Amino acid sequence: MSVLAPPTGALAATATTSGIPVPPPLLAELEALLRRLRLPSLRQAAPGVLATARAQRWEPAEVLRVLLQEEVRGRERSALATRRATASFPTGKTFAAWEPSLSSIPLPTQQALQTLEWVQRHENLVVCGPSGTGKTFFLEALGQVAVEAGLKVAWFSLEGLGILVRRHRADDSVTRAVRAILRADVAVVDDIGLLPVSPDAAEGFYRLVDAAYERRSVAVSSNLHPAGFDELMPKTLATATVDRLLHHAHVCVTSGDSVRLAQAIAGKGVVPLPASPPARPARATGEARRG
């Protein structure tokens, strides 16, 4: 409790004459203990909290509560940053920039999906439709909501799954690699149907959907409805994948023109250029430079 003793000397004079609490330096022993206990947020907040506690004559329990609260908040911020980095979102888009009225997904459906109750029930989500209708944006914003709620998200392209299969085929560890992905609560596979699907990618997609079935949630964006996946991969594999994917799934079909194209035509895709280039400053003459 020595750190809660009244300030003395110059510190006491500063605290009393200005009326503003002065953060006292932590005792070296206390600093070392907090480092050993790995309490960085508490250690950072301690000087200010202790100064306020002295000025306002807090009870010891209140000091302890505030310090521990700061540590909890710091750990929550750190955990959120880690979940967000691990998710590997493509652009970082959130619902803050989302315009619900521009999406053909019914507003009640958008709101219901944002509750994440479907994730808690280990259900799947398929968002399919033409390019530019907000499929990836919507899934990424949902993923951001999930990580902010304390859930883990894994984001993949179909080709990324193919690369994973090839990487782990040599030592026969594909199954283990897929299980590692499913430590996440939601696995997202983005932009199915844009590019030809390699055999490795088709296998990886099936393995992921099969391993997640009734255990984890899979969210998919696609230019094709899943009923047409046999155009992308062998029919037998497509049938088995779609059967598991759609059994407990919400299917949202987007429609309309490309939002990106509409924004480009309206000149909203870039920052407008000035009507004329800014005037260049006149160069100083030799006389002026020498003067």
Per-residue HEC secondary structure of 228-260 comes to: HHHHCCCHHHHHHHHHHHHHCEEEEECCCCCHH
- Clarify whether residues 99 and 79 are in a common domain: no
Count Cβ atoms within 10 A of the Cβ of residue 47 and give its class: 0-12 exposed, 13-18 middle, 19 or more buried.
Answer: middle
pLDDT tens for 53-103 read 989 999 999 999 999 999 999 999 999 999 999 999 999 999 999 999 999
What does the block give as tokens for 277?
A: 């280039």
pLDDT of residue 5: 44
- Clarify whether residues 61 and 180 are in a common domain: no
pLDDT of residue 179: 94
Edge-to-edge strand ranges of the sheet holding 217-222 = 153-157, 186-192, 217-222, 124-128, 249-253
Given a cut of 50, whether residue 216 has pLDDT beyond it is yes
- Clarify whether residues 27 and 98 are in a common domain: no
* Number of structural domains in the chain: 2
Given a cut of 50, whether residue 15 has pLDDT beyond it is no
Mean pLDDT (the chain, rounded): 85
What domain range includes position 13? 2-86
Q: What CATH number is given to the structural domain containing 95?
A: 3.40.50.300
Do the domain assignments include residue 188? yes
pTM over 0.75: no
pLDDT of residue 282: 61
pLDDT tens for 90-148 read 999 999 999 999 999 999 999 999 999 999 999 999 999 999 899 999 999 999 999 99
Confidence label for 170 from pLDDT (cuts 50, 70 and 90): confident
Torsion of CA 131, 136, 141, 146, to 10 degrees: 150
